[in-house]
Structure 1
Amino acid sequence: MTIRQYTVSHFSQSNPAGDSQSDITALLRTVAASIEDLGDVVVQDLILHNEITADGPWPSITVYYSDGSTE
């Protein structure tokens, strides 16, 4: 039996702290632009996190991806 191994990379992003830190639409746009900047990758998973701070909710997204040539 052959076991194939893959490398999966990840990054997390959130909006800057402040009045618009909870803006999910802006966060999604920023994450989409970051994925485009990576070039030929395959997104494996997206995880939305929501931290509650004194200034209100502060969502972040973690993106798990691999090199597009592995598929």
Structure 2
Amino acid sequence: MPDNTIFNFSISNPSGDGQGFVPALLRRLADAIEVEGDVDVQDITFQSAVTGGEDDLTMTVYFHRQPRRR
């Protein structure tokens, strides 16, 4: 019987200058997914919270630890 557990992790840019820079967050996200190896990504969510300076951006990845379908 296959393991249907869905794993997840969230990632944000560091606080301070550049915190709200979406391209940097997307690069960090791509690197973090690659570190997980050959996984089957089920969903990616994007959240933005207003702060006193730049917006606080967070992305969450939901995935299975099985190889993705090809």
- Using structure 2 for the length normalisation, give the TM-score: 0.87
Q: 1:32 aligns with which of 26, 30, 33?
A: 30
Q: Percent identity?
A: 38
Q: 3-state SS of the aligned residue for 2:55? A: strand
Structure 1: unaligned runs, 5 residues or longer: none
Does residue 7 of the first structure (1) align with residue 8 of the second (2)?
A: no
Of 61-70 and 50-59, deviating more is: 61-70
Q: What CA distance in whole angstroms lies between the structure 1 residues aligned with 2:68 and 2:27?
A: 26
CA distances 1:28-62 after superposition (whole Å, capped 9, x unpaired): 00000000010010110000000111113111100
Structure 2: unaligned runs, 5 residues or longer: none
- Using structure 1 for the length normalisation, give the TM-score: 0.86
CA gap 1:53/1:69 in 2 versus in 1, 3 angstroms: same
Point out 4+ residue stretches in structure 1 off by more than 3 angstroms: none
Q: Which has the larger radius of gyration?
A: 1
